[in-house]
Amino acid sequence: MSTFKLPKELVAFIDDIFGMLGLAFAVLLILVMFAVGFAFYPIISSIVAGLFVIGLLMEYLGKGRKSS
């Protein structure tokens, strides 16, 4: 019984594409949440959006330091 394995380069490329799509979706979600929240609670919305951006930056920058 043999299994088909994708080349490591292709797997890494697919992982990068889905990572970028996930990051783009997260940024879009943050922008929508900020726009909706800002209409009702401007100060709280600004703080929460800032925390989300800081979290995204920490996740993005931390991912680059991992060596596997």
pLDDT at residue number 22? 85
Q: Is the pLDDT of residue 49 over 60?
A: yes
Comparison of pLDDT for 3 and 18, the residue scoring more: 18
pLDDT at residue number 27? 83
Q: Give me the mean pLDDT over the 11-15 stretch.
A: 85
Structure tokens at 60: 């993005």
For residue 66, the tally of other CB atoms under 10 A from its CB is 6
pLDDT at residue number 31? 83
Residues 23/56, Cβ–Cβ less than 8 Å: yes
